[in-house]
Amino acid sequence: MTPAFFTASAMTVAALLGLAPAACTPEAVRRGELEATAFPSYGIVGDLPAAAPVPVRYAEADTAYRWAERAYGLDQAFYRNPPDYGFDYGGAQPWVWETEDDWRMYAEPTRTGYRNYYYEPNQRSPYFVRDNQYGYGFDQNGTLTSLFDLAGRLLPAALANQQAPTAGSYLTRALQLQEASRTANRLAVPGDLWLAQSPKLLREQDAWFQGAQNNQDWLAYRDRSNWTDVAAFESEWRRREERLDQLAQGPNPPPWAPAWGLRENRGETVWRAKDVRKALKEDRKEAKRLAKAEDGVQVALAPDRGGPGKAKGHDKPDKDRGGGDRDGKPGRGNGRDKD
């Protein structure tokens, strides 16, 4: 089976190069052929749908980051890559990225930037939504489990209750988008549009990444979970990075490709950070081991408690010298005190 990314990217490149979309793969047919020439003018979403506040059942602090971590991993996999496709919905054009195993991220243009929706495979409702202020974590029943600011801080449950009406509107919108994407024509996103709009999207992602990479509570969760939620998307990231390199070095690179440079200059961001943090952790363990060993040497070399100049073994009274026994009774001095 042709991976979803390569199918969508090939069609996007076909649009950029002015090629006809007829040479689509069976995978493209299954997902719906991309229309290379019919992308409408760029529009932003209007008012959110009215909805009831979502229920709030706040997760424990030591597990709440799993929703944010999963979204961060997906963000990293798609970072700097153009969308796989877009579709027209209500005058706005959400963009969609998909992994080959069907994890999805939608980016919807708003008046203040972008709103991102994150979906697990075979799920209608999102597990995470991020706007330009907060990140919202949802369980599969649509219950709000966690709320984060863009610095990666888990916010108090009281604030989550205040945001429950907004979360309800976001959840309703996410369901509508997911339903619409199943039947709407999938459109190749023009390269000049991606080139113009991507800096705004990437600025918001970069702010979110700063929180994910510097917040100590979040980093502690990542270490406790052994990077599982991030590592799950590493292969997707590598496939896309290789595709970027192929496009940038090809005979007809799209206009946005040279802006990112080659992979060796971009760095491996989160996965390189994983290796660095693992090395630092091992270094800290080794430093503790050496410190403990050094403490043992110092103890072994320390002088007797009796102090210098005092012969070993003479720090206790000697009963034979009349010093008294442990009960404080006078000693018998080898019996020489008798007549």
The pLDDT tens digits of the residues spanning 287-325 come to: 677 777 776 666 666 665 555 544 444 444 444 444 444
Compute the mean pLDDT over every residue in the chain, rounded to the nearest whole number. Answer: 75
**Residue type, position 41, single letter:** S
Token pair recorded at residue 218: 């979040």
CA count, 13 A, side-chain hemisphere, 328: 0
pLDDT over 90, % of the chain: 40
- pLDDT score for 6: 28
- pLDDT score for 276: 46
Distance from C-alpha of 96 to C-alpha of 87, rounded to nearest angstrom: 8
As a whole number, mean pLDDT of residues 261-267 equals: 47
- pLDDT score for 48: 79
Out of 57-61, 68-72, 333-337, least confident range: 333-337
Confidence band, pLDDT 50/70/90 cuts, at residue 195 = confident
Highest mean pLDDT among 38-47, 210-219, 278-287: 210-219
CA count, 13 A, side-chain hemisphere, 40: 14
**Three-state SS at 8:** helix
- pLDDT score for 179: 92
- pLDDT score for 270: 54
- pLDDT score for 138: 98
58 neighbors 160 (Cβ within 8 angstroms): yes
- pLDDT score for 267: 46
Residue entry with tokens 């984060």: 148
Residue 197 pLDDT greater than 90, yes or no: no
Long-range contacts of 242-246 (CB under 8 A, 24+ apart): 243/5, 243/6, 243/9, 243/81, 244/80, 244/81
Residue 28 burial (10 A CB sphere; 0-12, 13-18, 19+) = buried
Token pair recorded at residue 205: 């992602």
For residue range 202-225, list pLDDT tens digits in order.
888 899 999 999 999 999 999 999
Domain spans in the chain, listed from the N-terminal domain onward: 39-225
Residue 130 pLDDT greater than 50, yes or no: yes
DSSP of 179-197, one letter per residue? HHHHHSPEEPPPHHHHHHH
Residue 89 pLDDT greater than 80, yes or no: yes
pLDDT over 70, % of the chain: 63
- pLDDT score for 289: 75
Residue entry with tokens 């963009």: 95
